[in-house]
Structures are given as structure tokens and as C-alpha cells.
């Protein structure tokens, strides 16, 4: 059994409750066997973490960006050196399959290195505001930044989300998700080894009290949140009730995958699978789960995707050959069942999936076959709400205006994939679609340095790019006269 700790003021700790305090139990979503536990932070633990971080931040902000960069690079190297251990724990705790999960360690280390290289971009400007004075701007840190992460890639998000705020001279308090929190302890150990005491804190706990106490803490002026729209709104409200705070949000999506009749259908089928991120059982904000198929190719694509889904290899998250594991938690599993039932009740056709897979290894745990619904109409819940699981729905369209309206008829605007061989169509569509990311003839891919940002209810603020670094600094104007 894994015994987790928090990192507070440079110590790996159980928090104020010690061994008698509250814990969050973690179990393997593939088998329901207990895996370990982490202490749940109290509001007092959060307060201690933030105050220690504030004390460490003063010295950190006084160091040159290159000194900070050197430590970020050391943290990246330390993460890689324990990569295998991190992945084993993460695969068991999340249900994500280890084959593709390998990338998470590299992505986390890669973002630390990417932002380490951008130090000189924390530059200001000079403005010729008067003939006699010198007018320039400085970019300064906020102090202590809170970053709250979701369950789908807990290690990758927690580690990668340290990079921009640390580089900009802030201290960081991370709150791990309440399901799959175990790898946060390993990140805590690595930060403790490499970074100045107290500069990074890792706390565990539920939204209440831990997350809420962090958001409302008077020393926290900058919050970066990744998670659901409902929680994002709650965080905006809590932040606004406590002080004027900068909040950025990376939230959910109901992302369209639009296929024109001229698209290469072999590629389309492969990318519908890739765009769904089945390695994490579809639990990815960017998953293109809403297929908008032209009437002329609708039936053939639905049949071919169904055939491909039936062949997906479900298996233990620790099996390198497995293409999909279980969904993450009891909450997620209940949600999936509810969506399947609502789709059937609304008259959608379950082309494949919708059930627990057969076989002893799937008898326990949160297993659901990859699922495809057709004959879905735009008003159905499965067409409108983010499912965040291995369920795809297919809708048909006949002309371009209709598909643009269908695609944009959503409160979300995170990603969209458009498949056509016609350049003019692809450019027209990329302008017409309301989302922060548009993929043409591909799906699901992130590119370091390109902004990942949600439109509408999908979020506020760009990440994975220079904008993320700059958003963790605030501008000061200096006017000098002799």
C-alpha cells in the first residue's frame, strides 16, 4: 500500500492531523483493489503551505531568470530519472494505459525545459511617453500561485503547471485531484530534492475544504485551474468573494469532428479513434466526441468506426499492449451509465458498446466498452453535454451552413477537427468554428508553443505557450525623470 504525503514547507508530511487525521483512499479502477492513501489537507494545512511558499518566494524572485531556469531543468531531469516509477503508480491510480502514458513524463519534463528557455521573454517595453523621461515596464511575479489539477493526468498537469509560474518568479501551491492523487507524493519528493525549501507545496484533498481554502487564501492572487466548467465557475465565485484575483481556466469540451465528403476515409477512421484518446478511456478535455458526418459518407464512417472500436484492445493499465483501460472512478462510471441510458431512452442507436466488456478481468472495476451512438439529434443530452468518457455520438448534416451551426451550437469551444481535402473549405471552416483549437486533417495533437485555450465555457487564457508564462507575471510601469 502506498502511503502518500504532502509537501509543505519543505517537509513530506501528513499535515496537522498526523496519523489520526483524515485520509483519501485510492483504489485501482481496473480491479477495485486498494492502492494506497494520501492525507487530506485541512484549511490550516493549506494556510501553512501558502505562508511557507510566500516566505520562499521572496528569495526566488530575487534570483536571475537563468538561475531559476537551471533549477527547472534539474527538476525535469529528476522527473525523468524516476519516470518508470511515476508511470507505474500513475497507470494503476488513474486507469490510463501505460503504453501511451509514457508520454506524460516526457511532456511534464518538456514543459519545464520549454519555459526554462523562455526566461528572456519576461521582458518589458520602453515607451516614448515624454521627451525628457524614461518610461518602461517590468514584469513581476504575483507571489504565491495556486494551481488545481484534474484526475485525468494528475502527474503531468501538476508538474507541467509548475513551470510557467516558477519561471516568472512565483511560488506555487498545487492541489492534486481527489481521485488518483498518489503520484503527487512523488512530485513532492522531487521538488523537495531540487527546489528551495517551501517554494513548491503539494496538498491533497477534496474541493472542500482544501481547494476552496486555497482559492480564498488572502496571499493567493493568481489561480490557474484545470477541470470542469462547474468547478471553474465555483472557483471564479469564491475568488471574487475573497479579493480581486486573476483566474485562468482550462475547462471541458464537446468537440466536433467534422467530415466532408471529399475526406480520406481511411485516415478519418484512424483519427476518430486517435482524437478520442482511448488510452485514457476518452477522458480528455480535447476528445473529439461529437462526429458531424456528411450525409453521403455518414453510414460508411459509422460502420467502419464501430468495427474499429470492437477491435480496440481493452486490458490492464499496466499491459503495454492495452489500448484502453477502465474509466477513472465510481463517479465517472456512474456518469457513463447515465449517459448510455439517456441516449437509449432518447431514441439514439447504440451501434457498438454501451456495456461492461465480457471476461473475468473486467468483472470488477469501472469497465465500459468503447461506445458509439448514431441517429443522435442535436437536442439529445449525449450531443450537448461533455461526457468525458469512451462514448462517441454521430450526427449527420447536408450543407456547410448546417454543419457550422451544428458545430457552434454548444456552450463549449475547446477543440474541433475538420476533415476535407479542399484547402478553401478548410480555411473557411477554420474561421467559422468557435473554438480555441482547430485541427485540419488531424485530431488530438498538442504542439509546444501553440496556445491551448478554451473559448466560451471552455475556458479563459492560453496555456502551453508564451502567453502562459506572461500570464503569471503582472505589469509595472516605471516613469523616471532626473
Among 71, 86, 91, 148, binds ligand NAD (CB under 6 A): 148
Minimum CB distance to ligand NAD smaller for 211 or for 315:
211
Residue 24 binds ligand NAD (CB under 6 A): no
* Residue number with CB closer to ligand NAD (147 or 396): 147
Q: How far is the CB of 332 from ligand NAD (least distance, A)?
A: 8
Q: Would you say 160 or 312 has its CB closer to ligand NAD?
A: 160
User: Per CB under 6 A, which region of 5-13, 122-130, 143-151, 289-297 contacts ligand NAD?
Assistant: 143-151
Interface residue with ligand NAD among 251, 276, 368, 460 (CB under 6 A) is 251
Q: 353, 394 in Cβ contact below 8 A?
A: no
**What radius of gyration, in Å, describes the C-alpha atoms of the chain?**
23
- Which window, 31-39, 107-115, 251-259, 304-312, contacts ligand NAD (CB under 6 A)? 251-259
Candidates 32-40, 102-110, 189-197, 245-253: pick the segment binding ligand NAD (CB under 6 A).
245-253
Half-sphere exposure of residue 251: CA atoms within 13 angstroms, side-chain side:
27
Instruction: List Cβ neighbours of 282 (8 Å cut-off, separation of 6 or more).
Output: 276, 289, 370, 387, 388, 389, 390, 391
> CB of 386: closest distance to ligand NAD in angstroms?
6
Among 114, 260, 388, 439, contact with ligand NAD (rule: CB under 6 A): 388
Question: Of 237 and 355, which CB lies nearer to ligand NAD in the complex structure?
Answer: 237
Among 5, 68, 175, 271, binds ligand NAD (CB under 6 A): 175
Nearer to ligand NAD, 150 or 165 (CB): 150
Hey, how many other C-beta atoms are within 10 angstroms of the C-beta on 260? 22
According to the binding rule CB under 6 A, does residue 152 interact with ligand NAD? yes
Of 43, 3, 37, which Cα lies nearest the Cα of 218? 43
Q: How many residues bind ligand NAD (CB under 6 A)?
A: 29
**For residue 194, what is the enclosing H or E element?**
helix 183-194
CB 147 within 8 A of CB 172: yes
Residue placing its CB nearer to ligand NAD in the complex, 119 or 211: 211
**Closest distance of CB 145 from ligand NAD, Å:** 14
- Residue 302 CA to its chain's centroid (Å): 29
Is 212 near ligand NAD (CB under 6 A)? yes
Considering only residues 206, 236, 342, 364, which one is a binding residue for ligand NAD as defined by CB under 6 A? 206
Q: Please, which of residues 258-297 interact with ligand NAD by CB under 6 A?
A: 285
- Measured CA to CA, the distance from residue 240 to residue 379 in angstroms comes to 34
Quick check: 224 binds ligand NAD (CB under 6 A)? Answer: no
Catalytic annotation present for 285: yes
Nearer to ligand NAD, 60 or 225 (CB): 225
Q: Is residue 215 at the binding interface for ligand NAD, with CB under 6 A as the rule?
A: yes
Count of H helices and E strands in the chain?
A: 15, 22
Give the separation between CA 146 and CA 38, rounded to whole angstroms.
Answer: 20
> Beta strand pairing status for 6-8 and 11-13?
antiparallel
Does 339 interact with ligand NAD (rule: CB under 6 A)?
no
Catalytic residue among 178, 191, 285, 369: 285
Q: Of the listed pieces 150-158, 261-269, 333-341, 345-353, which binds ligand NAD according to CB under 6 A?
A: 150-158
231 near ligand NAD, judged by CB under 6 A: yes
Piece of 12-20, 89-97, 191-199, 231-239 that binds ligand NAD (CB under 6 A): 231-239
Cα(374)–Cα(431) distance, rounded to whole angstroms?
28
Can you list the positions of beta strands (E) in 295-433?
349-352, 371-374, 391-397, 412-413, 415-419
Q: Of residues 250, 369, 463, 464, which has the active-site annotation? A: 250
Q: Which of 382, 270, 284, 282 is nearest to 325 (CA)?
A: 282
Report CA-CA distances (Å) from 271 to 88, 135, 267: 27, 51, 6
Residue 386, interface with ligand NAD (CB under 6 A)? yes
- Select 119 or 275, whichever has its Cβ closest to ligand NAD: 275
**What's the Cα-to-Cα distance from 139 to each of 198, 241, 473, 478, rounded to whole Å?**
23, 27, 6, 11
Burial class (CB in 10 A: 0-12, 13-18, 19+), 172: buried
- Of 231 and 420, nearer to ligand NAD (C-beta) is 231
Please identify which residue in 114, 151, 278, 367 interacts with ligand NAD, judged by CB under 6 A. Answer: 151
235 binds ligand NAD (CB under 6 A): yes
Decide: is 454 part of the binding site for ligand NAD (CB under 6 A). yes
**226 binding ligand NAD? (CB under 6 A):** yes
Q: Using CA atoms, how far apart are residues 103 and 100, in angstroms rounded to an integer?
A: 6
Say which residue the cell 462514448 belongs to.
Answer: 391
The residue among 248, 222, 231, 176 whose CA lies nearest residue 53 is 222
Q: CA nearest 289: which of 96, 280, 365, 347?
A: 280
Closest of 75, 99, 224 to residue 150, by C-alpha: 224
Q: Does residue 125 have an active-site annotation? A: no
Question: Which residues are catalytically annotated?
Answer: 250, 285
Q: Which residues bind ligand NAD (CB under 6 A)?
A: 148-152, 175, 177-178, 206-207, 211-212, 215, 226-228, 231, 234-235, 250-253, 285, 386, 388, 414, 454, 459
Amino acid at each position: 500500500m502506498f502511503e502518500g504525503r504532502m509537501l509543505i514547507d519543505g517537509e513530506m508530511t501528513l499535515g496537522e492531523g498526523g496519523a489520526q487525521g483524515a485520509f483519501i483512499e485510492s483504489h485501482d479502477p481496473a480491479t477495485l483493489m486498494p492502492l494506497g492513501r494520501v492525507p487530506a489537507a485541512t484549511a490550516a494545512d493549506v494556510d501553512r503551505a501558502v505562508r511557507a511558499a510566500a516566505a520562499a518566494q521572496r528569495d526566488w524572485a530575487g534570483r536571475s531568470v537563468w538561475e531559476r531556469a537551471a533549477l527547472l531543468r534539474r527538476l525535469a531531469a529528476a522527473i525523468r530519472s524516476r519516470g518508470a516509477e511515476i508511470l507505474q503508480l500513475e497507470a494503476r491510480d488513474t486507469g490510463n494505459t501505460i503504453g501511451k502514458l509514457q508520454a506524460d513524463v516526457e511532456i511534464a519534463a518538456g514543459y519545464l525545459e520549454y519555459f526554462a528557455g523562455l526566461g528572456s521573454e519576461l521582458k518589458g517595453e520602453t515607451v516614448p511617453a515624454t521627451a525628457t523621461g524614461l518610461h518602461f515596464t517590468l514584469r513581476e511575479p504575483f507571489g504565491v500561485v495556486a494551481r488545481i489539477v484534474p484526475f485525468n493526468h494528475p502527474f503531468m498537469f501538476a508538474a507541467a503547471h509548475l513551470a510557467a509560474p516558477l519561471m516568472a518568479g512565483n511560488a506555487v501551491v498545487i492541489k492534486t485531484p481527489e481521485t488518483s492523487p498518489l503520484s503527487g507524493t512523488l512530485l513532492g519528493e522531487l521538488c523537495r530534492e531540487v527546489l528551495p525549501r517551501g517554494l513548491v507545496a503539494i496538498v491533497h484533498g477534496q474541493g472542500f475544504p482544501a481547494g476552496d481554502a486555497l482559492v480564498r487564501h488572502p496571499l493567493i492572487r493568481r489561480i490557474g485551474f484545470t477541470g470542469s466548467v462547474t468547478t471553474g465557475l465555483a472557483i471564479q465565485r469564491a475568488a471574487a468573494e475573497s479579493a480581486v484575483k486573476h483566474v485562468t481556466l482550462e475547462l471541458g469540451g464537446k468537440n466536433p469532428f467534422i467530415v466532408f465528403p471529399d475526406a480520406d476515409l481511411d485516415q478519418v477512421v484512424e483519427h476518430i479513434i486517435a482524437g478520442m484518446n482511448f488510452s485514457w478511456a476518452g477522458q480528455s478535455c480535447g476528445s473529439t466526441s461529437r462526429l458531424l458526418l456528411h450525409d453521403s459518407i455518414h453510414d460508411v464512417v459509422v460502420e467502419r468506426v464501430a468495427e474499429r472500436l470492437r477491435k480496440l484492445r481493452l486490458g490492464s493499465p499496466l499491459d503495454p499492449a492495452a489500448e484502453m483501460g477502465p474509466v477513472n472512478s465510481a463517479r465517472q462510471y456512474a456518469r457513463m451509465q447515465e449517459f448510455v441510458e439517456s441516449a437509449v431512452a432518447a431514441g439514439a442507436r447504440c451501434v457498438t458498446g454501451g456495456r461492461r466488456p465480457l471476461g473475468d478481468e473486467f468483472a470488477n472495476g469501472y469497465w465500459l466498452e468503447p461506445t458509439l451512438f448514431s441517429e443522435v439529434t442535436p437536442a439529445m443530452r449525449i450531443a450537448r453535454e461533455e461526457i468525458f468518457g469512451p462514448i462517441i455520438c454521430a450526427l449527420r448534416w447536408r450543407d456547410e451552413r448546417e454543419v457550422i451551426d451544428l458545430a457552434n451550437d454548444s456552450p463549449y469551444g475547446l477543440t474541433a477537427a475538420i476533415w476535407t481535402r479542399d484547402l478553401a473549405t478548410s480555411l473557411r471552416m477554420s474561421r467559422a468554428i468557435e473554438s480555441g483549437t482547430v485541427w485540419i486533417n488531424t485530431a488530438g495533437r498538442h504542439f509546444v508553443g501553440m496556445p491551448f485555450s478554451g473559448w466560451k465555457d471552455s475556458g479563459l487564457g492560453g496555456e502551453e505557450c508564451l502567453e502562459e508564462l506572461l500570464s503569471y507575471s503582472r505589469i509595472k510601469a516605471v516613469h523616471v525623470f532626473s
